[in-house]
Structure formats: structure tokens, C-alpha cells
Amino acid sequence: MQILKVGTMIELMRSNDVVLISLIEALFAEGRISYFIADAHMSMLEGSTGFMARRIMVAREDAPQARRILHDAAIELPKGPSDGR
């Protein structure tokens, strides 16, 4: 994963599902997608209440490819403006 300025990242989705997040991380690493899992530590601190979902962030320029990778893996992205568009 390359280091990026925070302003160049957009949110693709939020999830509390650690298995799904691990799968996405593996897919993005294989696809050479620059990504960051935001709120991972906060989500661990709050326990299992599900209050604080982890945010999957990708570099703006990698977003179209990231969406294709997730689509090909049958991972549905939420609809709406949460992706920074």
C-alpha cells in the first residue's frame, strides 16, 4: 500500500464484518489498489455493539477499478453519495 494524502481518499463503504473487510483487503492488495481501513482501532475499542463501522477508503484515482473488483467478487456497494462523488 502506498502512502497517500488523506484528501485523495474516498469512502467506498462501511462495515463491521471483519471477514468481509479481510476479503476486500486481499482483493485490493492483489489488484494493487491503494486503500486504508479507517476507524479500525475505534471499532475495536467500542466492542461488539456495532456502533462504529470501519470505513474502507481508496485513492480517488483507484476508485473505478476498486468498484469493478468488488463487483466482480459479488460484493455490493451501498448506493448514494458516501463515496465522495
**What's the confidence (pLDDT) of residue 25?**
94
pTM of full prediction above 0.95? no
CA distance readout (Å), 78 to 23, 32, 46, 82, 85:
17, 22, 23, 8, 13
Q: Indicate the helix (H) or strand (E) that contains 13.
A: strand 9-15
> DSSP state, 44?
H
What structural domains and CATH numbers belong to the chain? 13-76 (3.30.70.790)
**What's the confidence (pLDDT) of residue 83?**
45
pLDDT tens, per residue, the chain with 85 residues: 454 555 588 999 999 888 999 999 999 999 999 999 988 766 455 555 555 788 999 999 999 999 999 999 999 888 754 544 4
Of 55, 27, 60, residue with least CA distance to 42: 55
